[in-house]
Amino acid sequence: MDIRIFIISSGNYSSRIINNMAQMGFAENIVGIHEVDENLPEFIDNIEEYIPENLPEADLILSIGLYGDINMIIPHVAEKTNAKSIITPIYDPKQIPLGLQKEIESEINDKTIIFPKPFCTLKPVGDKYIDAFAEVFGEPELEIESDKLIRKIKVKRGAPCGSTWFVAEKLENTPVDGAELESGMRYHNYPCLASMGNDNQIGDTLMHIAGYKIKEAVKKELGFAAKSAVVNEKRCEGGDNCNYICRDVCPTFKIGDNTIIIKENHKVKINPKTCGYCEICVQKCPFEAIKIEDNVKLE
């Protein structure tokens, strides 16, 4: 990764990510770190007082763990460092409300800013510097060699907090049949610092979303889902009969995964690769057309 990264950092969540970047050999890419006190008030009257001086030139800003109005220093730091790209991961639903995101965006001129929620949903977005970072860090991607056991597992892209490398190490020699569920348990041992509070936009917690992502990486490699929601076509009515409420409530659909697909016959099918078997759609479908099944093959 040949980019210069400047980090605005606050709290434990950020420290863990910086440590992991260093452990993965990217310390030299970090041209500076500006620490922000994690006990600042949520609402700040005069942001000018908090803008750091004497900043180095950088390509990419990572702004991690800042809570509330202090995030308004981001456009100023980007301007002063001449950075072209900014990643502002969200680990807590209340951390940067949509209104504040829009305000930050309105002050970013010719730069790209994204707000992955949580950080381990980051994928390439077509921006040179963000994509260089996302080659190594972001939504987990694995390469697995297996027979009945997981024999070898390589992390192609890992959650910035380091959890993917931790899980991958623990999965070696695990039976393939139980590997997906094991990955979810191992991930919870790490433990993830994403919030357990419900995110109203997504309808689930960010910690659960992170858990779905590591399991998705395992499923993709093994070719089957240990569990998935499955639609009974005979019961599914689709269209105006239910207004596709299953899609409206599906957390993985809301974060941009194509988990619930409307077919030509207006009924739906569920993609087991991205289904986190949260069962929300099972409870909401007015025609009881969805149930959770075991060992579902990926298409």
Structure tokens that stand for 72 in this block: 């308004």
* Residues contacting ligand SF4: total by CB under 6 A: 29
Among 125, 196, 245, 261, interactor with ligand SF4 by CB under 6 A: 245
Classify 160 as helix, strand or coil. coil
Cβ distance to ligand SF4 smaller for residue 118 or 238: 238
Cβ distance to ligand SF4 smaller for residue 48 or 293: 293
Are the beta carbons of 292 and 244 closer than 8 angstroms?
Answer: no
- Sole window of 4-12, 78-86, 152-160, 275-283 interacting with ligand SF4 (rule: CB under 6 A): 275-283
Nearest approach, Cβ of residue 139 and ligand SF4 (Å) = 16
Task: Name the one residue in this structure whose structure tokens are 């500006």.
Answer: 34
Residues listed for the chain: 299
Cβ distance to ligand SF4 smaller for residue 58 or 250: 250
For 47, phi and psi rounded to 5 degrees? Answer: -65, -25
Query: How far is residue 293's CA from residue 277's CA, in Å, rounded to a whole number?
Result: 9
Nearest approach, Cβ of residue 281 and ligand SF4 (Å) = 3
For 296, phi and psi rounded to 5 degrees? Answer: -100, 125
Q: Taking CB under 6 A as the rule, does residue 237 contact ligand SF4?
A: yes
Cβ distance to ligand SF4 smaller for residue 170 or 247: 247
- Sole window of 90-98, 129-137, 151-159, 240-248 interacting with ligand SF4 (rule: CB under 6 A): 240-248
204-205 and 198-199 beta bridge pairing: antiparallel
Q: Taking CB under 6 A as the rule, does residue 48 contact ligand SF4?
A: no
Beta bridge partners, 114, equal 87
Cβ distance to ligand SF4 smaller for residue 130 or 229: 229
Q: Taking CB under 6 A as the rule, does residue 248 contact ligand SF4?
A: no
Among 130, 260, 273, 296, interactor with ligand SF4 by CB under 6 A: 260
Among 1, 51, 280, 298, interactor with ligand SF4 by CB under 6 A: 280
Q: Taking CB under 6 A as the rule, does residue 107 contact ligand SF4?
A: no
Q: Taking CB under 6 A as the rule, does residue 252 contact ligand SF4?
A: yes
Q: CA distances (Å), 35 to each of 4, 15, 62, 216, 275, in order?
A: 18, 10, 12, 34, 38
Alpha helices in the chain (DSSP H): 11-23, 74-81, 98-107, 128-134, 163-171, 179-189, 206-222, 245-249, 251-254, 280-284
Which parts of this chain interact with ligand SF4 (CB under 6 A)? Answer: 229, 231, 236-238, 242, 244-246, 249-252, 259-260, 267-268, 270, 275-281, 285, 287, 289-290
